[in-house]
Amino acid sequence: MASQKITRASVTHLPVWHRKEVGKVAFADNIGLCRSEWLVRVHTESGLQGLTIANRYMRSPNGSVAGLLDILKEAFLGRTLDELLTLDGDRVTGVGKTVSAVFRDHPWLSIAAFDLIGRARGVSCIDMLGGGRRNPVPAYDTTMFYQDFLDPEKGSAKNAEEAAASRADGYWRMKIKIGRGSRWMLPEDGLQRDIEVIQAIREAVGPEHLLMVDGNFGYNGRFDLLEDLMRETASANIFWFEEMITADVNGYRRMRDIQMRHAPNALLVCGEVDQSPVSPVYQDLAAEGLMDAYQADIGQEGFANWMEIERTLEGTGTRSNPRNFGNGRFGTRAGVIFGASSETYIHFEDERQLDHTYKPDGLSFENGAYMIGNFHGLGLEIDLDIWDRDHAKHEVQISA
Ligand SMILES: [Mg+2]
């Protein structure tokens, strides 16, 4: 089975909808309602299909459909499945020699390789990642952007309202975007609004909810305001502080000091912007115990790179918590599968986008976590009626 040949690959643009308007963040204007899922399908001669997404490549400055087809051709066409990954039993140990250059440049390709080989061998990607370590996989709602800016009359009451709705939908964990003072408000006013929003949300969801904050570097250069923030929100019991400042060892030493004074149980997490993981500065942060969890994106790095990242960080005490944002519904599947297998994983970043294109995939969400069934590869299947009706005419294919 593993020697079968790949004969065809394609890319299709799928629209993917948030269930609500998603607002601003420290560095950017509104996310909005609808985003893109660039679905890649790879087929073998005997009819197996592997999936991944090319969102990271398509959002890069040089991303294009024509360029993507060249990448797929180099990575897959005419190759046999056993060229793609190296395995020890069912566990993946690395990337095959002939594809290592293209997989290094475009690590998201490895997800399709896992999917194909998993299906060919009759095992799940969880087994290929080293086996299941948790089921269900806890998830956090990541859609609390600057929702107060979408409804200025309500202000932080808007955030509280959405947090209560998230709680009613079954979530026990939420991440709150802060850092308004870096761009959208004066620094002191932004701090006050950040605090007000955090407190309003804590009030709305009650004391048991796990709350994280994400500054997207909005507190750069303002350790005074960062200290005010940590002091004033101590009673809200923030579980983690994400990217409050740019990754830098001296800055993180200073931030750790402040955090230990005001929120000694909180984690400092970062790394989603790391383009070639694990970059030296993040290795330094990990070695000094200044980075409690690392977050390179699952849709960008794929499975093989994340296995490598875990090897790099092993022994440092830094936990794995890949970011999942801008990855569409596909990202839910890929992220939960990784989370199920990773020893140090904390929880899944859930964009909560609406279902589309795929069949019900055996992931069931209950009481704030995803329960996973049995499947081969990724276990994600396209609904061919929907495909033929909406997407087939937009599919761009290449064949060997
Ligand atoms: Mg973030």
pLDDT in tens, 130-173: 999 999 999 999 999 999 999 999 999 999 999 999 999 999 99
Q: What is the CATH number of domain 6-129+382-399?
A: 3.30.390.10
User: Residues with beta carbon < 5 A to ion ligand 1?
Assistant: 214, 272
What's the pTM value of the predicted model, to 2 decimals?
0.97
Query: Within 13 Å, how many C-alpha atoms sit on residue 132's CB side?
Result: 12
**How far is the centre of ligand 1, averaged over its atoms, from the C-alpha of 179 (Å)?**
11
**How far is the centre of ligand 1, averaged over its atoms, from the C-alpha of 97 (Å)?**
33
**How far is the centre of ligand 1, averaged over its atoms, from the C-alpha of 178 (Å)?**
10
Write down the CATH superfamily of domain 137-372.
Enolase-like C-terminal domain (3.20.20.120)
Residue 394's pLDDT is what?
A: 97
If you average pLDDT over residues 35-58, what whole number do you get? 97
DSSP secondary structure, 211-246, as one string: EEEE-TTTTTT-HHHHHHHHHHTGGG--SEEESSS-
Taking only the tens place, the pLDDT of each residue in 199-232 is 999 999 999 999 999 999 999 999 999 999 999 9
Q: What stretches of 126-266 adopt beta strand conformation (E)?
A: 137-144, 173-177, 210-214, 240-242
Domain positions in the chain: 6-129+382-399, 137-372
Q: State the Cα–Cα distance between residues 67 and 52, nearest whole angstrom.
A: 16
Name the CA radius of gyration of the chain, rounded: 21
**How far is the centre of ligand 1, averaged over its atoms, from the C-alpha of 272 (Å)?**
6
**How far is the centre of ligand 1, averaged over its atoms, from the C-alpha of 197 (Å)?**
17
Look up residue 32 and give its amino acid.
Answer: G
**How far is the centre of ligand 1, averaged over its atoms, from the C-alpha of 131 (Å)?**
28
Write down the residue that tokens 């990784």 correspond to.
338
